[in-house]
Every structure is written in C-alpha cells, then in structure tokens.
Homo-oligomer: A and B are copies of this chain.
C-alpha cells in the first residue's frame, strides 16, 4: 500500500499524486491510496466501485455539492517523476488533473463540517473511451452516490470557471487496397498511399467557432492515430486512420457524426465512440453564485469533461481547477503552484462561509 499524507500542502500533495503513475486502466494503486488516506476521516462515509472512490459528508445540510476529479492520466511522455522548479510542478498529470485532485482530497480530509454537504468523487478511466469512464459506471451502478444540487469538476481551467464542454466523437477511416509483393508493386493497390488524401483533407479542414451565451467554442477535427502495413516487402492492403472531432455543445452527436461524414465524403467512415457536450448553463442560480465567488470572467471549456455526465443526470456543473488546460496531454505538462493554493483557498472559503 502506497501512503498518501493529506497533511502535506497541496503542492507537495500534487507531486506525491503525480508520482503514483496512473495511466488509464492502471489506477488501482492510486485508488487504493486515496481510499486508505480518507478512511481515517470519521466525518466521511466511503464507497468504492472498481477504481472509483466516493466519500460523503452526511450532515443533513440543505444543499449538497459534488466535487469530482479523475485519477487517471494519458500515457507518460518520459515526464515522471515530477520536477519542481521556480514555483512550477512539471510532470504527467500535474495539470490534468492531479492538482485538482490534491485540492479536493485536502478539502475532504480537513473540512469536517462544511456549510453544504459534500460528495467527493475520485474516479478512473476518464482519458479513454467513454464506455470505460468510471463516473459513467458509477452513474449506472449507484446513481444515488452522485446526487447533488450542483457539481464542481476540478479539471484544469486556470482557476477560472469554464462553462459547459465540447462534445467528442471518434471515427475510424478505413482505406482498402490489394496486397502484392513490393517488388511488383504495380500488381497491388497501396492502401497507405490512399491515406494521403484523407490526411490532406484533415490538414486543410477549417473547424467552426460557435458562440453560445458569449462563450466561443472552437471545434477541431484531427487524426489522432494511423496504422497500416503487413511486412517490409508487401504492398499494404489496409490502412486505418482514427479521427477525433471536438464539437460545440449546441451540436448533437448525430449532427457531429454528419459533419465528419461530410468532411470525409467518399471514404469508408465508422463512428466508434462519441460523447455529447454540455451547454454552459451559467444562468443556473447555483452556477451563477459559484462564478460570482470565483470572481473571474467565465470561459468556454474546449475539452470534453464529465460536466456533460452531470448535466445528463440533471446536476448543474462547472469546471474549475488550478491547472492550465493548454498544456494538458503534452510531454511538457506542468502546473503552477500559485493557482493550486488559490483554488484551495477559494473552495475552503466557499465551503465554510456562513450561509
């Protein structure tokens, strides 16, 4: 069992969390450590489903807020263990989103009597296919664990509120050819060569920008993977390109699929996975009050986040966390320490102010 000491300051805790590797599908060790660290807090009731840990206060308050963060990260980019330099933590997961998890863990451990009941959710498999998502699994298996009046997802937002989220759709483009010995290439049809036109279309694609309630959502259509080839002396008869489309929350999944099919018209396109966005919904009273507390101009959330899942459960939700989303998923991922402290202070103030 790996020990997590929740009396560390939130920056040190972020480093400790990052240094427990938890690429999607391998979060078990970290989930165990989180569960173990929270077990000594008598004010929390604990539940677990797979590698998702849920901790709740049961104070009978008039309002319940859900504070959530995912435990997993994208694959390492040769960027662990963490390095701390000039007030900045460098390493896989630092921004997305172990800094947010660190804040949430400290709130859970150190606020025995918050002014609202709080449900803390630490979940698995956010960075992979929607069907594996731990929050989705809990919403199917134990939806009562996620009940609440409002939710704060501590995804990276540069310590401002980011409203809604874009949807995400994945599709495979399959190019087919005909094998031949590469010394007699004119006898075959090269499926990898055929991928060139698909990539040219993607490279020149002009993504839309969609204004919703003054927040401008920038879309994107990108190849995120390609593979093809049989052997070094064979003309390949198959090539597969995986495409990811990020779409404004005003589009449905069906509309998004149609955009992809149109952009790749003439090619064999198979939609493999999609998740709808969430409208910003900042006019909801709970969301508006939270925005006022944070005291900064709200922004659109470009990434897909589980605010969409809360939105589908009827729980208004916003993104708010210390990380910088623009460095997420990069080898050079980092998180500044100052916004980690700021986020913790604001969340503590919000959860302890007299109401």
List residues of A whose CB falls within 8 A of some B CB: 74-75, 77, 96, 127-129, 166, 168, 170, 178-188, 190, 192-200, 202-203, 207, 218, 220, 222-237, 239, 241-242, 244, 246, 273, 302-304, 325-326, 328-331
Contact = CB atoms under 8 A, between A and B. Distances in A.
Contact of A96 (B181, B182, B304): B181
B226 A192 contact: yes
- What copy number does this chain have within its complex? 2
Given A199-B193, A331-B237, A224 B220 contact: no
Contacts of A196: 195-200, 202-203
A334 to B, nearest CB: 13
Contacts of A129: 232
Contact of A182 (B224, B227, B232): B224
Nearest to A24: B231
A222 B244 contact: no
B234 A74 contact: yes
B187 A326 contact: yes
* Interface of A: prevailing SS: mixed
Contact of A229 (B194, B218, B227, B230): B227
A265 to B, nearest CB: 17
5 contacts: A77-B230, A184-B302, A188-B330, A192-B225, A222-B235
A225 B218 contact: no
A242 B228 CA distance: 10
A227 B224 contact: no
Contact of A231 (B203, B207, B224): B224
Contacts of A202: 190, 193, 196
A231 B185 contact: no
A226 to B, nearest CB: 5
Given A186-B220, A222-B190, A233 B244 contact: yes
